[in-house]
Amino acid sequence: MNFVFASPSVEDLIRLLRAWRFWALGALLGMLIGAAVYYVVPPPYRAKATVNVDFNLEQAWPQETDRQQFYYLERESRKMEELAWSDEIMSPLSSQFAIPVEDLRGGKLLLSQPSEAGWHFYADDKAPQIAEGLASAWAEAFVLKIQSEIQAGNINKFVKLEVTQAVDLPKQRSISLGEFMLAGSMSFLTLAVFVVLFVKPKNK
């Protein structure tokens, strides 16, 4: 027991370096297992829709300081991001695709780049067509909601939105084969280090 909790000695480190064959075998085995898991239990497909958001700073704040413009961008972006996840948008998506709102907010939908320029709306599903339809519907519902909020005066009137990608969306696995292989390799390398360091060798 004391051997397990003792600090590594120089001999331990030398033994660790000499076990490079064990490392290599562990890394290779981990890569193969990672690849096998990828093909046996593949990750879901991920589709991405894009909405271009232009805050038109020159018109909204023509004579204000950079600091005021920053707060303007932060405030409007935060309001729009909250609306993207609002019940008014999530509930219709839930009904249309028969997916609980909890799942939509729990990782099935992802929002990236909530600032000026491209807002990316991601959707994951085991069926690529469902992922594409969900991402497209979310982006379009977002634009309609923001436009209605602009008309109501809740969002600055100079904010302009346009769905730039909603058809024939790019679709790929949410986690790549290489990431699975790297994770498997690193896991087995870590295991190999623990085995070499903490499994006490037999005395000769």
The pairing of strands 109-112 and 171-173 is unpaired
Residue 6's pLDDT is what? 53
CATH of 45-173, one of 1.25.40, 2.60.40, 1.20.120, 3.30.1890: 3.30.1890
Answer yes or no: is pLDDT of 4 > 90: no
User: Tens digits of per-residue pLDDT, 77-90?
Assistant: 899 999 999 999 99
pLDDT band at 3 (very low <50, low <70, confident <90, very high): very low
Residues 6 or more apart from 101 whose CB is under 8 A from it? Answer: 87, 90, 91, 94
Between vectors from CA 15 to CA 14 and to CA 20, what angle results, nearest 5°?
Answer: 100
Length of the chain, please?
204
Residue 61's pLDDT is what? 62
User: Tens digits of per-residue pLDDT, 88-137?
Assistant: 999 999 999 999 999 999 999 999 876 667 899 999 999 999 999 999 99
Tokens of 159: 């904010």
pLDDT band at 144 (very low <50, low <70, confident <90, very high): very high
Q: What is the pTM of this model?
A: 0.73
Residues of the chain with CATH 3.30.1890: 45-173
